[in-house]
Amino acid sequence: MRLEVRHARVVAAVAELGSISKAAASLSLPQPSLTAQLRRIEKTIGGELFVRSRTGITPTPLGERLIPMLVDLARSADAVLAEAASPVTDVLGVVSAEWEPAVFWQGLRDQLAGYEVRTSSLDPDGALDAVVRGEYTAALVRGPETAGPPELPDSTLDSQLVMREPTWLAVPSTHRLSRDPITCVGELDQLPWVRHAPGHWLHNVEQELLEAVRPTVLHYVSGQAEAMNWVRDAGVVALTVPSAQLDDVALVPLPGVTGSRLTMVWRRGWRNHTGRRRLLSAIRRTLRAQADRHPCYRDWLAVHLDEFPELKDCAPA
């Protein structure tokens, strides 16, 4: 006799319930039939898996080694069947809790060829609610690296780190700092700033960085899109993550400033694990491709890649 998945289920049921009669009932089998099956399994394996007694059954030394493996086999088979039975969709909805450049969304669509990709940008609470309601497949949520994973408002949600990024200074492309980087934090008080309003994750990062220098702040913005427009059009500076850089905005590294973490959030009912892994990989590859478009960030990342293991295997295709 060859060992099959149904035999693993028999062993798993007996081990879990501690009784042949209970296992037979759970499998809708007559007890004599299950007993006979168990004997054939043990004969195939070459030894007894259980010691029978009036008080129940316990694993033999051989059983202690093999039963966990058979239980895992039964669970893996059930997972395969569940995955095969789950509906397959070629539509992926991705909502961002922060503005991302248009080039990011187009790059993501290119990475997900074969899927219809629907995208949107909402505030953080709205993005997570949209995933809970099933309106979108996943949300991208950004926050300070020191805060750790985002607090999820619903027990049906799960999350995984997409990538971490440094926080840098965005300046107009013609600004002197695009050629001569900052060497002292004290230089920051000589620059006109736009800052992020309270409630945005970058607000506290700015507070920590600028507390000692207190520069002139011309405006408070609601998000990165507005900040980048101010930098480009009004000649001011602002904090940003490198992946949000526009083509006509330059980046200046700021060592020691709190970085960011980008997290993907989805509903635990999303059982298409292959689709989830592909989406996560596509987002990473798209962000890595954005880094390669900007020489300053590309060169910096090449030197510091060991600090970002999540991006090591995500060179653009």
- Is the same domain home to 97 and 243? no
Where does the pLDDT of residue 184 fall: very low under 50, low under 70, confident under 90, or very high at 90 and above? low
Average predicted confidence (pLDDT) for the chain: 87
Residue 85 has pLDDT above 60, yes or no: no
- Is the same domain home to 96 and 60? no
Q: What is the mean pLDDT of residues 305-317?
A: 74
- Is the same domain home to 96 and 242? no
- Is the same domain home to 107 and 228? no
Q: State pTM to two decimals.
A: 0.67
- What pLDDT score does 227 carry? 93
Q: What is the mean pLDDT of residues 99-115?
A: 88
Does residue 309 lie in a domain region?
Answer: no
Q: What is the mean pLDDT of residues 182-195?
A: 81
- Is the same domain home to 73 and 114? no
Does residue 294 lie in a domain region?
Answer: no
For position 241, which CATH number holds? 3.40.190.10
Does residue 304 lie in a domain region?
Answer: no
- Is the same domain home to 54 and 80? yes
- Is the same domain home to 159 and 180? no
Characterize the bridge pairing of strands 168-172 and 238-240: antiparallel
Residues 206-258: pLDDT tens digits?
999 888 888 899 999 998 889 999 999 999 999 999 888 787 899 888 888 89
Does residue 78 lie in a domain region?
Answer: yes
- What pLDDT score does 147 carry? 84
- What pLDDT score does 124 carry? 87
Residue bearing the bigger pLDDT, 312 or 229: 229
Minimal CA–CA distance to 164: which of 240, 306, 259? Answer: 259
- What pLDDT score does 183 carry? 59
Which residues are registered as beta bridge partners of 22?
none
- Is the same domain home to 135 and 276? yes
- What pLDDT score does 83 carry? 59
- What pLDDT score does 84 carry? 61
Q: Give the Cα separation of 200 and 241 in Å (integer).
A: 13
Q: What is the mean pLDDT of residues 285-307?
A: 86
Does residue 298 lie in a domain region?
Answer: no
Among 252, 275, 302, residue at a domain's last position: 252
Sequential DSSP letters for the chain? ----HHHHHHHHHHHHHS-HHHHHHHTT--HHHHHHHHHHHHHHHTS-SEEEETTEEEE-HHHHHHHHHHHHHHHHHHHHHHHHHSPP-SEEEEEESS---HHHHHHHHHHTTTSEEEEEE--HHHHHHHHHTTSSSEEEEEEEGGG-SPPPSSTTEEEEEEEEE--EEEEETTSGGGTS----GGGGGGS-EEEEPTTSHHHHHHHHHHTTT---EEEEESSHHHHHHHHHHH--BEEE-GGG--TTEEEE--TTS--EEEEEEEETT---HHHHHHHHHHHHHHHHHHHHHSHHHHHHHHHHGGG-GGGTT----
Q: What is the mean pLDDT of residues 122-139?
A: 90
- Is the same domain home to 78 and 113? no
Which residues are registered as beta bridge partners of 57?
52
Containing domain of residue 269, as a range?
A: 91-163+260-289
Does residue 313 lie in a domain region?
Answer: no
Does residue 118 lie in a domain region?
Answer: yes
Where does the pLDDT of residue 283 fall: very low under 50, low under 70, confident under 90, or very high at 90 and above? very high
**CA distances to 111, 175, 314 from 289, in Å:** 11, 25, 9
Q: Give the Cα separation of 32 and 30 in Å (integer).
A: 6
- Is the same domain home to 247 and 181? yes
Residue 125 has pLDDT above 80, yes or no: yes
Domain count, the chain: 3
- What pLDDT score does 61 carry? 93
Minimal CA–CA distance to 247: which of 295, 199, 281, 201? Answer: 295
- Is the same domain home to 284 and 222? no
Q: Which residue has the tokens 């596509």?
A: 282
Q: Cβ(118)–Cβ(94) under 8 Å? A: yes
Does residue 177 lie in a domain region?
Answer: yes
Residue 67 has pLDDT above 90, yes or no: yes
- Is the same domain home to 109 and 248? no
Share of the chain above pLDDT 70, in %: 94
Environment class of residue 296 by beta-carbon count within 10 Å: exposed (0-12), middle (13-18) or buried (19+)?
middle
